[in-house]
Amino acid sequence: MHYLSTRNNELKESFLNVLFQGLSKEGGLFLPSAWPSISIENLRGKNYQEIAHAVISPFVQEDISDEDLVLIVNKTYQSFNPKSIAPLVNIEKNKYILELFYGPTLAFKDYALQFLGNLFSHVLENSNRKITVLGATSGDTGSAAINAFKGKNDIQVFILHPHQMVSEVQRRQMTTVGEKNVHNIALKGTFDDCQKIVKKLFLDDELQSKTSLTAVNSINWARLIAQAVYYFWAYIQSNQEKVNFIVPSGNFGNVFSARIAKFMGLPIDHLHIATNENDILHRTISEGRMRINNVKKTHSPSMDIQVSSNFERQLFESAKRDSDMVQKIMQSFAETGEQVLSDQIVQDMQLIYTTHSVSNSQTLETIKYYNEHYDYLADPHTATGLYVLERMSNEQPAISLACADPGKFGNAIKEATGNLPHFRPELENIFDQDEKMTILDNDTDLIKSHILELI
């Protein structure tokens, strides 16, 4: 298997090159040349790590030996507690919640970033190479990446987050680690601004050659394959023939991982995308018109995104892998902030995706309702999915993803239920530790020189 790009379908890159490169030279995102299929029957009875090995292996086997992959996967999920790694909770007939907050920073990002950290260490171990990890975060990617890379000698970590637009717990999880290789930048702008700067810096030759920049955002291909694993896991646990998933979405990474699972043969019927009031995905897929609005601050900050990077991967698939067409669409979208998609592309997306936009008040009402009705406390991101789950008939099985521990979003929980959530031990002492971050203006050159200075 080799890798091509959404803006150049003739590329032939190896997995290792794709792993360390954020974007292709044309600015596109990497995808495999063909989708491998996997035998679902062979996965039955396996534990999470064994399923992870089976799902990830076809994508990496030319570069990572089977034995090494087993070691990397086992190391990755060793510290996740409980041992089921990702429990599937059955709340009612045919209605399930897949809990993905048992990694070190208590959001689903750990499931892929801990894997990425161990994968990087493995590859760098026997080389003299040093890398610089650069990422933008709407809240959870940053802490998960910092936790995965902190204290590693050959890796410097730079994380940009939108100043005053992440929750206090999310910020403190990033700024209190106290390791020399971790650098937090609070950007005076939105997440979209952070992401734009990161994308520009990846195409900056000077910075690239001086720092060996590496992407950890969900544009990183290895993250998406590690996330595909829990869709297989959930399906097997459910004992159903065919399932629907409901995925709270921002950057389109998590739901595209579900799409990967479906490409590989997992019997998924429909994928329901839940967005918050930043509903560009909902408008694009339901109406066929991509148009950027201003970013609104909501109770689910990790979904406060207008430009969803990974959407380009879906666009490429729906355009029958025509990279010239994708290039044209993305260029015109970047120039005008607006783009109408062809009927053929929109219909292709609607065959699989159904979208929903959930308001701030509906999010809080859903938290309250699940708490009272099912004795289930959901974080505000998870609640956007549960809003959709509640409105589905229970004739067909549906699995809604629980994206983060409610303790990360105490204020929203208090507003919804009247009480602060219980804080897991991982969060207890971050409130009295010193914070370290640099607040900088929304200016690409400024960020570039800041990075060069610290390297």
Ligand X SMILES: *Cc1c(COP(=O)(O)O)cnc(C)c1O
Q: Is 363 in the site for ligand X (CB under 6 A)?
A: no
Coil, strand or helix: which one is 422?
A: coil
User: Of 23-31, 183-191, 209-217, 249-257, which part binds ligand X (CB under 6 A)?
Assistant: 249-257
- Provide the minimum distance between the beta carbon of 76 and ligand X in the complex, in angstroms, as a whole number: 18
Beta strands in 70-200 (DSSP E): 88-92, 95-99, 131-136, 155-162, 182-188
Region from 242-250, 318-326, 346-354, 369-377 binding ligand X, contact rule CB under 6 A: 242-250
Q: Which is nearer to ligand X, 184 or 251 (CB)?
A: 251
Among 148, 201, 403, 412, binds ligand X (CB under 6 A): 403
The single residue among 183, 381, 427, 430 that binds ligand X, judged by CB under 6 A, is: 381
**DSSP code string of 76-88:** HHTT-SSTTSS-E
Residues near 334 by beta carbon (within 8 Å), at least 6 away in sequence: none
Nearer to ligand X, 172 or 381 (CB): 381
The binder of ligand X chosen from 251, 278, 327, 357 (CB under 6 A): 251
> Which residue's CB is nearer to ligand X, number 13 or number 405?
405
User: In Å, what is the CA distance from 406 to each residue of 70, 123, 360, 387, 438?
Assistant: 32, 35, 16, 16, 28
If the CB atoms of residues 32 and 248 are measured against ligand X, the closer one turns out to be: 248
218 in contact with ligand X (CB under 6 A): yes
- HSE (CB half, 13 Å, CA atoms) of 58? 17
Q: Shortest approach of ligand X to residue 372 CB, angstroms?
A: 22
Q: How many amino acids of this chain bind ligand X (CB under 6 A)?
A: 16
Structural contact between residues 209 and 363, judged by C-beta atoms closer than 8 angstroms: no
Q: How far is the CB of 272 from ligand X (least distance, A)?
A: 13
| Matching residue, tokens 């067409």 | 325
Write down the least CB distance from residue 258 to ligand X, Å. 10
Q: Which is nearer to ligand X, 298 or 302 (CB)?
A: 302
The correct pick among 88, 113, 303, 330 for binding ligand X (CB under 6 A) is 303
What whole-number distance in Å separates Cα of residue 140 and Cα of residue 148? 12
Asked if 162 is part of the footprint of ligand X (rule: CB under 6 A), the reply reads: no
Around Cβ 261, how many Cβ atoms within 10 Å? 26
Of the residues 76, 143, 237, 302, which one makes contact with ligand X according to CB under 6 A: 302
Which residue matches tokens 């666009």? 315
Distance of CA 53 to the CA centre of its chain: 20
Strand 88-92 to 155-162 pairing = unpaired
Q: Which is nearer to ligand X, 181 or 218 (CB)?
A: 218
- Please report, as a single letter, which amino acid is at residue 65: S
Among 238, 249, 286, 327, binds ligand X (CB under 6 A): 249
Q: Report the residue from 73, 107, 201, 285 that binds ligand X according to the rule CB under 6 A.
A: 107
Least distance (Å) between residue 247 CB and ligand X: 7
Question: How far is the C-alpha of 260 from the C-alpha of 382, rounded, in Å?
Answer: 21
CB 448, CB 204: distance < 8 Å: yes
Asked if 199 and 177 count as a contact pair (C-beta separation under 8 A), the reply is no
Residue 136 CB, nearest distance to ligand X (Å)? 11
- In sequence order, what DSSP letters do the residues of 239-303 get, joined into one string? T-SSEEEEEE-SSSHHHHHHHHHHHTT--EEEEEEEE-S--HHHHHHHHSEEE--PPPP-S-GGG
First to last CA, the chain: 35
From the list 33-41, 52-60, 248-256, 259-267, the region that binds ligand X by CB under 6 A is 248-256
Q: How far is the CB of 298 from ligand X (least distance, A)?
A: 11
Least Cα distance to 404 among 87, 103, 92, 88 occurs for 103
| Contact flag: residue 253 with ligand X (CB under 6 A) | yes
Q: Per CB under 6 A, which of residues 46..75 are in contact with ligand X?
A: none
Contact region with ligand X (CB under 6 A), list: 12-20, 49-57, 182-190, 251-259: 251-259
Q: Which is nearer to ligand X, 140 or 348 (CB)?
A: 140
Catalytic residues: 109
Q: Please, what is the minimum distance in Å from the beta carbon of residue 392 to ligand X? A: 19
Q: Taking CB under 6 A as the rule, does residue 404 contact ligand X?
A: yes
Stretch 130-149 residues interacting with ligand X (CB under 6 A): 140
**Under rule CB under 6 A, residue 254 binds ligand X:** yes
Q: Which among 55, 64, 9 is positioned nearest to 34, based on CA atoms?
A: 9
Crossing angle of the two packed helices 380-390 and 410-417, in degrees rounded to 10: 50
Q: How far is the CB of 242 from ligand X (least distance, A)?
A: 23
Binding site for ligand X (CB under 6 A): 107, 109, 140, 218, 248-254, 302-303, 381, 403-404
